A = this chain, B = another copy of it.
Amino acid sequence: MAQSDTVDKILDAAEELFAERGFSETSLRMITSKANVNLAAVNYHFGSKNALIHAVFARFLTPFSATLETAFDALEARCEGKPPTLNQTLWALTESAVRMPQRNEKGISIFMRLLGLAYTQSQGHLRKFLEQEYSEPFGRFMRLLKEATPQLSAVDRYWRIQFMLGATAFTMSSSDALRDILQNKLGVETTVQEIASRLVPFLAAGMQAEDAMLVPPQSEKVSVA
């Protein structure tokens, strides 16, 4: 067995268990048991549990951010100066995710859930790590979004981006959805691609909704359609 075999077995087991149970709720002993390696191997190869968490993310995120950069390059080249549309930008992102070379068919679902957990569980070290390591593609995506929705005020755009992020991360990170994806609980086939093809129109429509009708929050009556 090569030396890196243990490292990969740990990463595989950790990725799956973190996605299923969250970070704090997954112990190193669970991971090493599932990976069939010794408990000390984690601290030997990664240094600490937090560093292992970072490694799990880096294994997916580093090649993904490269793929995303080239997708954005291609998109902007195709648009010849004109800013890409919202739909194009969203599709570039989701297609990059879907096209990622995956270790197995559930790779993306698992990783989407991990991303959701990263945002939701207040693991300070993880947020800091992700923001430091991958600020560049993230900032570029934000810039594209801004150029694609010039009609929105900065505040409106800020909140709607938050909503998009929420719909995406939460959907992928909700255990129900994950279970559906993984074991096809619904009759229909439920691939990540299919979810994405449902999600993108939802997001685009919400993002381009008419001016937020600021219904006075204290009014007694609700406006009728």
Interface residues of A (CB under 8 A from B): 20-22, 24-25, 75, 85, 87-88, 91-92, 95, 98, 116-117, 119-122, 155-156, 158-160, 162-171, 173-175, 177, 186, 188, 191, 193-210, 212-215, 217-218, 222-225
A186-B224 Cα distance, complex, nearest whole Å: 32
**Which 5 A-B residue pairs are closest in the complex by CB-CB distance?**
A166-B170, A205-B209, A193-B217, A206-B206, A202-B206
Report whether A159 and B199 are in contact in the complex, using a CB–CB cutoff of 8 Å: yes
Of the candidates A24, A119, A120, the one having the most CB atoms from chain B within 10 angstroms of its own CB is A120
In the assembled complex, the CB of A67 is this many whole angstroms from the nearest CB of chain B, namely 15
Given contacts A222-B91, A225-B85, contact A199 B117 (CB under 8 A): no
A138-B188 Cα distance, complex, nearest whole Å: 25
Q: State which of B159, B173, B186, B197 has its C-beta within 8 Å of the C-beta of A215.
A: B197
Given contacts A22-B24, A170-B167, A177-B162, contact A212 B225 (CB under 8 A): no
28 contacts between A and B (CB under 8 A): A20-B122, A24-B25, A25-B121, A87-B223, A88-B224, A88-B225, A91-B215, A120-B120, A120-B173, A122-B175, A156-B198, A158-B186, A159-B199, A162-B174, A163-B171, A163-B202, A166-B166, A166-B170, A196-B217, A197-B214, A197-B215, A201-B209, A201-B210, A201-B213, A202-B206, A202-B209, A205-B208, A205-B209
Report whether A198 and B160 are in contact in the complex, using a CB–CB cutoff of 8 Å: yes
Q: Which residue of B lies closest to A219 (CB)?
A: B95
Residues from chain B with Cβ under 8 Å of A186 in the complex: 155, 158
A157-B200 Cα distance, complex, nearest whole Å: 14
Q: State which of B158, B164, B177, B197 has its C-beta within 8 Å of the C-beta of A212.
A: B197
In the assembled complex, the CB of A129 is this many whole angstroms from the nearest CB of chain B, namely 15
A214-B171 Cα distance, complex, nearest whole Å: 18
Given contacts A160-B198, A209-B202, contact A222 B95 (CB under 8 A): yes
Report whether B222 and A170 are in contact in the complex, using a CB–CB cutoff of 8 Å: no
